[in-house]
Amino acid sequence: MEIAESKPRLDTTRLQKIAQAYWESAALMAAVELEVFTAIAHGRSSGGGSPPD
């Protein structure tokens, strides 16, 4: 019985970091588009009101 040669495992760390950075930037962009930071700057601390016009 032969022992199968194991292939070296590919390192996906770089790809995972790129994907993580993409999702983080997408979340930041969504917050900008929803004017979250403007609301924070005006002192709003909860999401109870409607967004500014």
Q: What is the mean pLDDT of the chain?
A: 86
Q: DSSP states of 1-53 as a string?
A: -PPPPPPPPP--HHHHHHHHHHHHHHHHHHHHHTTHHHHHHTT--SS-SPPP-
Q: What gap in Å lies between CA 48 and CA 16, rounded to an integer?
A: 36
Percentage of residues of the chain with pLDDT beyond 70: 77
- Token readout for 37 is 């930071």
Label residue 6 by pLDDT band (50, 70, 90): confident
pLDDT at 20: 98
Q: pLDDT value at position 47?
A: 60
- According to the model, what pLDDT value does residue 1 have? 58
Q: What is the rounded average pLDDT of the residues 39-46?
A: 84
